[in-house]
C-alpha cells in the first residue's frame, strides 16, 4: 500500500510541475489538488483492503463449515471457530461476543457432556454460516 501512495505522490508532483503556475495562488491550488489526489487514493486503497479482508473471511468461514464433519471433532470445531472469530473481532465484535457467551453457557473449556458439545458446535456452525453469507457470500 505504501508503494501505491509513493507512485500517486510522484504522479501528483509531476502533474503539478507540468501545470503552469503564474503565481503563488495557482501554486497553492496545485498543492491542494495533489493533496486531494493522495487523500482520495488513501481512502480508495483503504476501502479496497477492507473489502478484500471481508471476502477472505467469507471464504475461510465457508471452508470451515464445509470441512466441519470431516476435519474436526465437536470440541475442536468450537475452538477453531472461537479462534477464527477472535482473529476477526475488530470487524465482527458482536459475533465474537455472542460466541464467547455461547461458550460460557455450554462450558466449552470444561466439556462434561458430549450432547452439549454437539449443540455448541452446531451453534458455532450457524455463526460461521452467517459470516459466510451476511456480506454477500454464497
Q: Domain residues for 89?
A: 2-134
Whether this prediction's pTM lies above 0.85 is answered by no
The mean pLDDT values, 10 residues at a time, for the chain of 138 residues are: 66 68 76 80 84 88 85 85 93 92 85 76 90 67
Q: What is the pLDDT of residue 66?
A: 85
Quickly list DSSP for 72-126: --HHHHHHHHHHHHHHTTTT-HHHHHHHHHHHHHHTTTS---HHHHHHHHHHHHH
Half-sphere exposure of 100 (CA within 13 A, CB side): 9
H or E stretch covering 34: helix 24-66
What total number of domains does the chain contain? Answer: 1
Q: What is the pLDDT of residue 138?
A: 47
Q: What is the pLDDT of residue 21?
A: 66
Amino acid at each position: 500500500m505504501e508503494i501505491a501512495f509513493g507512485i500517486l505522490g510522484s504522479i501528483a508532483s509531476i502533474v503539478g510541475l507540468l501545470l503552469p503556475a503564474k503565481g503563488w495562488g495557482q501554486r497553492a491550488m496545485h498543492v491542494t489538488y495533489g493533496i486531494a489526489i493522495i487523500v482520495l487514493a488513501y481512502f480508495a486503497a483503504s476501502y479496497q483492503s477492507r473489502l478484500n479482508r471481508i471476502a477472505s473471511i467469507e471464504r475461510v468461514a465457508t471452508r470451515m463449515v464445509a470441512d466441519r464433519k470431516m476435519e474436526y471433532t465437536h470440541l475442536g470445531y468450537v475452538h477453531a471457530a472461537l479462534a477464527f472469530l477472535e482473529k476477526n473481532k475488530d470487524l465482527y465484535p458482536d459475533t465474537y461476543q455472542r460466541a464467547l457467551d455461547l461458550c460460557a453457557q455450554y462450558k466449552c473449556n470444561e466439556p462434561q457432556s458430549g450432547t452439549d458439545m454437539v449443540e455448541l458446535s452446531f451453534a458455532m456452525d450457524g455463526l460461521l454460516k452467517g459470516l459466510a453469507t451476511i456480506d454477500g457470500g454464497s
